[in-house]
């Protein structure tokens, strides 16, 4: 594509450009917060009847960190969806022809008309083109228009990077909430285990205490699981949308530098040739029929200056473009490095916590085994005591029968006491002499 004919801009431009505000792909944070809050409430209401399922247990029975992590994940997801919708609306504008190939850039009136036409559009590409044309109409110099285009490009990249600050913070905060839930769950498990060991009396109480410990450990591991899953699910779409937006801004910069800036008229600067100089050269050439060597050299110098100006503008654009691309690549590499480092730290922390928990469980299991052995010895002693009591009761039962026998003897003795008293009284013995049998026979 060749540059148009030079235009004299030694005087102030006679046409006032349309003032155009800068358009950016910003997403209202309050809208993302409101939608995320409603989505979180709806999700938890939906899982209330499903509380007995595994997912219902993860969301409803694992502490206060789960709703907060879900709310943060919804914020990032809603922000990503809104950004994707805005980018989808901007995509068709890149396929349209905003500046026809045969459009004349000869007079300021033509440039002003093109600027007014582009200013009526609401998409980023015509807005950026109209702003560059407005700067050219105000200054009358293409170099200033090039600087304004570069400034708009840098501002758009900065606004885009700043718009992802809060979502990035939330993506990093979700795993931290999972670790907080892990710490809370382990603390509850250890404290509950210590408290029930102090008051444990029998096997049933020990079983109930172990159930409380496992519940605390479930809270600890499930909160980390949910947080890591949510962070991965929302981070991947956000990175894709961010890359898409950077690519869109790069395409807009390429269009402006390829389709608009080279076609702007060359201004009257030391790096260019104005119209009056060219007219004088042409007229003198026509009058003289054949140009002199000095004039041809002057014309070639002017043309070389024009070519150098075009090449310098092109090189400046290419350098700016490569710098932006290198910055984007470095930012993406830093993000990937941070993600890998974070994942390594997460895995190391999880392994350390699992090792510590396993060691604690082994120690507590040994302590429980000792308690069970002591309980078994206590039960054996109590069984022996019960056997002794049984024998004592049997002896007491036998003693009760002997008491009955003694009572019967006492009763019999009581009945015999009158007879014995009578027998104990003094008695009178009277001897009566009876005749013998011989005397009776004599009679």
DSSP string, 280-342: HHHHHHHHHSS--HHHHHHHHHHHHHHHHHHHHHHHHHHHHHHHHHHHHHHHHHHHHHHHHHH
DSSP per position, 56-80: HHHHHSS-THHHHHHHHHHHHHHHH
Q: Report pLDDT for 236.
A: 92
Higher pLDDT, 295 or 365: 365
Residue 337 pLDDT > 60: yes
Lowest-confidence pick of 160-169, 174-183, 195-204, 328-337: 195-204
Q: Decide: 260 and 103 in contact? Cβ < 8 Å.
A: no
Q: What is the mean pLDDT of the chain?
A: 76
Q: Report pLDDT for 195.
A: 61
CB environment 247-279: b (16+ within 10 A), e (fewer): ebbbbbbebbbebbbbbbbbbbeeebbbbebbe
| Measured distance CA(189)–CA(209) in Å, rounded | 9
Q: Report pLDDT for 338.
A: 82
Q: Report pLDDT for 83.
A: 92
Higher pLDDT, 184 or 75: 75
Residue 436 pLDDT > 60: no
Residue 270 pLDDT > 50: no
Q: Report pLDDT for 81.
A: 92
Q: Decide: 136 and 25 in contact? Cβ < 8 Å.
A: no
Residue 191 pLDDT > 70: no
Q: Tell me the mean pLDDT in the region 308-324.
A: 78
Provide the terminal-to-terminal Cα distance of the chain, rounded to the nearest Å. Answer: 199
Q: Report pLDDT for 75.
A: 92
Q: Tell me the mean pLDDT in the region 275-280.
A: 58
Q: Report pLDDT for 281.
A: 56
What's the pLDDT band for 198 if we cut at 50, 70, 90? low
| Measured distance CA(388)–CA(370) in Å, rounded | 27
- For residue 244, give Cα distances in angstroms to 87, 108, 256: 8, 36, 19
Instruction: Quote the DSSP letter at residue 51.
Output: T
Percentage with pLDDT > 90 across the chain = 6
Q: What does the pLDDT look like over 93-107, one tens digit per residue?
A: 888 888 887 877 777
Residue 325 pLDDT > 80: no
Q: Report pLDDT for 375.
A: 78
Q: How many CB atoms lie within 10 A of CB 58?
A: 17
| Measured distance CA(311)–CA(117) in Å, rounded | 30
140 Ramachandran zone, left/alpha/beta (phi>0; psi -120 to 50): left
| Measured distance CA(269)–CA(281) in Å, rounded | 18
Q: Tell me the mean pLDDT in the region 372-388.
A: 80
Q: Report pLDDT for 310.
A: 77
Q: Decide: 264 and 2 in contact? Cβ < 8 Å.
A: no
Residue with tokens 């909160």: 223
Copy the structure tokens of residue 439.
């005397």
- For residue 40, give Cα distances in angstroms to 73, 77, 85, 142, 236: 9, 12, 21, 53, 20
Q: Cβ neighbours of residue 39 under 8 Å, at least 6 residues apart?
A: 74, 78
Q: Decide: 200 and 209 in contact? Cβ < 8 Å.
A: yes
Q: Report pLDDT for 80.
A: 92
Q: Decide: 307 and 262 in contact? Cβ < 8 Å.
A: no
Backbone angles phi, psi at 260, to 5 degrees: -115, -55
| Measured distance CA(269)–CA(305) in Å, rounded | 10
What's the pLDDT band for 114 if we cut at 50, 70, 90? confident
Residue 441 pLDDT > 60: no
What's the pLDDT band for 133 if we cut at 50, 70, 90? confident
Q: What does the pLDDT look like over 248-261, one tens digit per residue?
A: 888 888 888 888 88
Copy the structure tokens of residue 323.
């710098």
Q: Decide: 146 and 316 in contact? Cβ < 8 Å.
A: yes
Q: Report pLDDT for 211.
A: 58
Q: Tell me the mean pLDDT in the region 371-379.
A: 81
Lowest-confidence pick of 187-196, 202-211, 293-302: 202-211
- Which pTM value belongs to this model? 0.52
Residue 129 pLDDT > 60: yes
Q: Report pLDDT for 273.
A: 45
Q: Report pLDDT for 438.
A: 46
Q: Report pLDDT for 416.
A: 74
Lowest-confidence pick of 37-41, 138-142, 256-260, 406-410: 406-410
Q: Report pLDDT for 12.
A: 38
Residue 79 pLDDT > 90: yes
Q: Decide: 132 and 256 in contact? Cβ < 8 Å.
A: yes
- For residue 386, give Cα distances in angstroms to 103, 234, 299, 391: 113, 67, 127, 9
| Measured distance CA(128)–CA(260) in Å, rounded | 11
Higher pLDDT, 219 or 176: 176
Q: Decide: 142 and 267 in contact? Cβ < 8 Å.
A: yes
Q: What does the pLDDT look like over 341-370, one tens digit per residue?
A: 887 888 888 888 888 888 888 888 888 888
Percentage with pLDDT > 70 across the chain = 73
Q: What does the pLDDT look like over 33-72, one tens digit per residue?
A: 899 899 888 888 887 877 777 667 767 666 678 888 889 9
């Amino acid at each position: 594509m060749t540059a148009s004919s030079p235009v004299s801009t030694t005087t102030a431009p006679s046409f006032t450009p349309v003032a155009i505000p800068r358009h950016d792909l910003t997403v209202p944070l309050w809208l993302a917060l409101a939608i995320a809050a409603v989505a979180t409430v709806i999700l938890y209401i939906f899982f209330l009847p499903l509380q007995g399922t595994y997912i219902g247990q993860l969301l409803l029975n694992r502490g206060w960190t789960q709703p907060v992590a879900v709310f943060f994940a919804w914020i990032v997801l809603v922000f990503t969806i809104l950004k994707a919708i805005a980018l989808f609306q901007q995509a068709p504008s890149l396929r349209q022809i905003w500046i026809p190939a045969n459009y004349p850039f000869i007079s300021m009136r033509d440039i002003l008309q093109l600027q007014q036409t582009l200013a009526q559009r609401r998409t980023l590409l015509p807005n950026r083109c109209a702003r560059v044309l407005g700067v050219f109409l105000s200054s009358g110099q293409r170099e200033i228009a090039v600087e304004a285009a570069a400034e708009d490009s840098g501002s758009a990249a900065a606004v885009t990077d700043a718009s992802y600050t809060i979502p990035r913070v939330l993506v990093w905060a979700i795993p931290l909430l999972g670790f907080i839930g892990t710490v809370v769950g382990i603390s509850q498990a250890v404290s509950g285990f210590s408290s029930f060991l102090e008051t444990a009396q029998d096997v049933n109480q020990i079983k109930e205490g172990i159930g409380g410990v496992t519940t605390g450990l479930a809270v600890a591991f499930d909160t980390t699981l949910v947080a890591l899953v949510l962070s991965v699910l929302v981070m991947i779409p956000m990175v894709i949308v961010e890359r898409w937006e950077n690519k869109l801004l790069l395409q807009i910069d390429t269009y402006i530098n390829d389709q608009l800036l080279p076609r702007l008229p060359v201004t009257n600067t030391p790096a260019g040739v104005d119209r009056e100089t060219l007219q004088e050269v042409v007229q003198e050439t026509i009058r003289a029929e054949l140009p002199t060597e000095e004039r041809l050299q002057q014309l070639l110098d002017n043309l070389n200056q024009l070519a150098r100006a075009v090449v310098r503008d092109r090189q400046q654009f290419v350098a700016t473009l490569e710098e932006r691309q290198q910055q984007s690549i470095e930012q993406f590499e830093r993000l990937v490095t941070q993600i890998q480092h974070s994942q390594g730290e997460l895995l190391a922390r999880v392994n350390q916590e699992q090792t510590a928990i396993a060691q604690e469980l082994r120690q507590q299991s040994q302590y429980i085994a000792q308690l069970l052995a002591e309980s078994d010895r206590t039960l054996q002693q109590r069984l022996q005591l019960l056997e002794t009591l049984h024998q004592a009761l049997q002896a007491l039962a036998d003693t009760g029968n002997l008491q009955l026998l003694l009572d019967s003897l006492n009763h019999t003795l009581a009945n015999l006491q009158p007879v014995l008293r009578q027998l104990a009284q003094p008695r009178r013995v009277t001897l009566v002499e009876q005749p013998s049998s011989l005397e009776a026979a004599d009679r």
